[in-house]
Amino acid sequence: MTLPARQPESESTGLPIAGETRETVPAVKATPASALDIYTGDPNFMTSLARGLIVIQAFTQQSPQMTISQLSVKTGLSRAAVRRCLYTLTKLGFAGAEDGSRYGLRPRMLTLSHSYTASSTLSTAAQPILERMSAGLRESFSVATLDGDDIVYIARTTVDRVMVAVDLHIGSRLPAYCTSMGRVLLAYLPPDKLEQYLAHVELIPRTTRTITTVDKLRLALRNVRRTGYALVDQELEVGLRSLAVPVYAPSGRVVATINLSGHAPRMPVYDMQTRFLPHLRNAANELGVFLR
């Protein structure tokens, strides 16, 4: 018996005939480089500068040194693009390779962060306020702003007894959803911005206490707006408890947040709310004055 010849797919629909299946094309994994696609065709967008910044941001505490191949995989940029970025950064003193193959950032990179802190009224005004509180209360305090889905530390003081798994410093980033400072900044976002965040955020459980559903996070954020502060109990890290309040600009917009963090066993929730909350609110008000 002669089988009928296989009919070609429809030219108009591209669909296979009945009984046949088309192979599933695997989804393309998003990379930092793919995020630049939205700027294609924008004559004012400097793609080469954006690629250089992507390479810089690829270096982390976990990956302080990488080869061109590793950077290419991590960033999604071609090896040739990574090589040109590293060549430029090396010539300018911002990067280098000890063994000729594994590249790392150089101390000169600190001048970029210093440029921000030196020119930021918020950062320069916050640091002495935090240092004064830390000296008087012997606790660790921080100020942060929201950048995308993360909080970014722009001022910080520490005391020796505070031990956390994450090495926090100016420029450190943490997820907003499971930190007290992040909860404050999210709670005071415009409604449309908050909805955009909740629609795409991945609520990864950092501990067994971490809020991992959007409904519960919504409830927590409403509570922040009701009380005027956020208290997060061991959601980022076991044993770490933190308290944060908003910092208002003269327009009434929340532009930053200030917090206290410490070991849960020695810092009961009641003490944080009664002893430390007034100090945080006073510091936030003082910091807000500098923004006028």
What are the pLDDT tens digits along the chain (292 aa)?
444 444 444 433 444 444 444 444 445 568 889 989 999 999 999 999 999 999 998 998 788 899 999 999 999 999 999 999 999 999 999 999 977 789 999 988 877 766 665 556 788 889 999 999 999 999 999 999 999 899 999 999 987 654 455 567 888 889 999 999 999 999 999 999 999 999 999 999 999 999 999 999 999 999 999 999 999 999 999 999 999 999 998 889 999 999 999 899 889 999 999 999 999 999 999 998 887 6
d(CA 187, CA 209): 20
Q: Give the global pTM.
A: 0.70
Residues in the chain: 292
State the SS3 of 133-189: HHHHHCCEEEEEEEECCEEEEEEEECCCCCCCCCCCCCCCEEECCCCHHHHHHHHCC
Pairing mode, strands 95-97 and 103-105: antiparallel
DSSP 27: P
Establish how many alpha carbons lie within 13 A of residue 290's alpha carbon, considering only the half-sphere containing its beta carbon.
17
